[in-house]
Amino acid sequence: MMIRRSFLRAGDDLAVDFANTVPRGPGAPEALGSWRALIDFLELRDAVGRDEGTALRAMAGDDARGCAAALERAQIFRATVRDVLATLALRRPVPASAVERVNEVLGWGAGAGRLVRRAPGWGLAHAPGLDGPFRALAPVAHALALLIAAGSGAGVRRCANPACVLYFRDRSRARRRRWCSMAVCGNRMKVAAHARRHGRRRPGGRQRSA
């Protein structure tokens, strides 16, 4: 089955890209507006293989109610992911309440991991899982668990454009990446900064009249 849908990959991490599927402004479309859209995202991000993606899509015909519930939970879990990323970006400890929600979703995957307390933060341990449509979210929870376990070393950042809602992992050698995309927010903010520095001046230095 060919997937024609596309998703942002600015985050450089499965959990971060999942968080970035949130609508980017008032009236913006919901990227995860259907069960198929969710599975398309997971397959395009290599979170599930082609056979698993096909099996998960087929569940919509066999268990429409379960898939609808799993999709709703995916959107709720996305808010948890964004909260965790915001905490990591500020280099603050992730609350135990958020870890509990991550552990719950981890438990939906077959042979998933589980976050456990390990000084000075969190580590991953193995835990048994369940089957059914909810298992689709387990790879995202696993990716998020790895970020939580890494703590401040995960390099999670929010785009420096105040109007942007996207996060990313800074994997640059100098850890100085600031923008979700240099081609979009980076250039936009540089143009705005240039305009502020130089004002609306005519050649010769005179300010234009309003």
199 within a domain of the structure (yes/no): no
Q: From the centroid of its chain, how far is CA 172?
A: 18
> What domain range includes position 152?
14-171
Tell me how far apart the terminal alpha carbons of the chain are, to the nearest angstrom: 58
Q: What is the pLDDT of residues 121-150, one digit of tens each?
A: 888 776 656 678 999 999 999 999 999 999
Tokens of 61: 């015909």
- The whole-model pTM stands at 0.82
- Quick one: pLDDT band at residue 190, thresholds 50, 70, 90? low
Q: What is d(CA 92, CA 190) in angstroms, rounded to the nearest whole number?
A: 29
Answer whether residue 158 is part of any domain.
yes
Structural contact between residues 159 and 185, judged by C-beta atoms closer than 8 angstroms: yes
Q: Read off the CATH number of the domain in which 39 is found.
A: 1.10.3300.10
pLDDT of residue 74: 97
Flag whether 190 is in a domain: no
Q: pLDDT tens-digit profile of 27-55?
A: 889 999 999 999 999 999 989 888 889 99
More confident residue, 95 or 125: 95
CA distance 54 to 52: 5
**Mean of all residue pLDDT scores within the chain:** 85
Place of tokens 């599927």: 21
* Residue 193 banded pLDDT, cuts 50, 70, 90: low
Tell me 135's DSSP state. Answer: G
In a domain, 180, yes or no: no
Omega within 30 of 0 (cis) for the link into 133: no
Report the domain count for the chain.
1
Best mean pLDDT range from 156-160, 170-174, 194-198:
156-160
